[in-house]
Amino acid sequence: MNITTVKRWTKISLRTLHLLAVVGVGGGILFGLEKSLWFGYWWLALVSGSLIMLIDLISNPVWIVQVRGLTIVLKLILLVFVLLTPDWASFLFAVIIIISGIISHAPGSLRYYSIYHKKIILSDVDTKG
């Protein structure tokens, strides 16, 4: 198995764990459960998302200035506010999910647009998955 295949399956596995974690966090927040019941999912989401982000940064550092990378940074900031402002948690969580859905299904011309370079930046070294 080559390194590209390993990275791809690692990202697929991490994304699967991340989806499970987001569902756990979402259920806890949206149904008003005590934080202790869903906080383990919060950590799983944080760790799995951070590892996906690290793989993307290592594979293609320009990722951080593309709309897809900047969107992740925005979502992380909103997640901090989810914990800091419990009264807004449901609304903020919904905004995060909406942003995720839009960006993950947006055309490449938007996702790969670099705010820094002011153009679409594509790379052969991106890790798919």
Cα–Cα–Cα angle for 8, 62, 120, rounded to 5 degrees: 100
pLDDT greater at residue 59 or residue 65: 65
Global pTM?
0.86
Specify the DSSP class assigned to residue 126.
P
Which residue type is seen at 91?
F
Q: Reduce the DSSP state of residue 83 to 3 states and report it.
A: helix
pLDDT at position 97 is 95
Q: How far apart are CA 119 and CA 115, in angstroms?
A: 7
pLDDT at 30: 93
Mean pLDDT (the chain, rounded): 92
Nearest CA to 58 out of 71, 74, 45, 69 is that of 69
Checking if the pLDDT of 23 tops 60, the result is yes
Q: Three-state DSSP class for 111? A: helix
